[in-house]
Amino acid sequence: MSYDSEPPTPPTTSAPSSRRFGRGSATVAVAALVPAALAGWLVWQATSGPGDSDQPEVVPGQSQSRSVAPPADAKPSAPTTPPASPSTGAPSPSGTDKDEKPNATGPLAGKVVVVDPGHNPGNFRHTREINKLVNVGTHRKECDTTGTSTNAGYTEASFTLDVSRRLRALLEKQGATVKLVQNEDRPYGPCVDERARIGNEAKADAVVSVHADGSAVGNRGFHVILPALVKGGAADTTKIVGPSRELGTRIAGKFVQATGSAPSNYVGDGTGLDVRKDLGGLNLSTVPKVFVECGNMRDPKDAALLTNEGWRQKAAQGIADGIGSYLER
């Protein structure tokens, strides 16, 4: 993910050294691969629903993602829309105004979920527009970024749309009202401030922004980004820090169960949770919101998962299960 980051730079392909990203951000701690016991801990957390007082301490960090345009030979094709299936239904490839009506009798009936597919497949054609600075509460940052891609040219924007459409289908089947922030129905964006505003205006019970990271080879696993306590200018996350942490913790646990993937070995000190204060999409949110970095597109092993349709369905299922666990608590 390079959702709200420094100006685009080419992806790193060598082992990373300690470095800093942005002003005042913390150095990312590289953690060892998480043992099986941690996965069990996350699953237990997702099932039991810990309160704010008994959450693990997480050292704030920042992922080593990059904003990169697709390789020169990459085709900016539309993301894959998953086929219909008896278990998941068929996500509509239509725009956000034509989302299917939810099942009013499902366990999530009456709940509103906003799904934010990171970036937009058209962003790399509109670099001037997405480089425009917008107010993210405490400072100004780029409207949006291109996102990253695999070495073979599968873009993060295509990945996020595919997983988000699958996620919408799963949530709607449970009765939730689901809104996609963008569904490739606009040429670029929206900007990060508008993405936050869409969730706020929907009075969403939960907002999840779907991403994939662009870090160095050898950096593997998923992580969930939580909002830090930020108060200044138009930003005030005081009311959402606690609920967002619970939402993120439940998603992390269910993601382990559904995908079998381990939490990140390079962000979050092995917890799969990362706290950040520089993301406008979180700083400007007034409703519980998290980002899910499903894996590292620049690592060949993670890329093999992210480009696999069956794994993407599992990723959507894990996120849906986490959201459901949070909303049904």
201 is catalytic: no
Choose, from 172, 184, 246, 293, the residue flagged as catalytic: 293
Element containing residue 149 per DSSP (H, E): none
Strands 289-296 and 140-142: unpaired
Please list the alpha-helical segments (H only) found in the chain.
36-48, 127-130, 156-173, 192-201, 241-259, 280-283, 300-306, 309-327
Query: Crossing angle for the helix pair 241-259 and 36-48, nearest 10 degrees?
Result: 130
Strands 223-227 and 273-276: parallel
* Alpha-carbon gap, residue 109 to 131, rounded angstroms: 39
Cβ proximity of 285 and 207 under 8 Å: yes
250: left (phi over 0), alpha (psi -120 to 50) or beta: alpha
Active site residues: 293
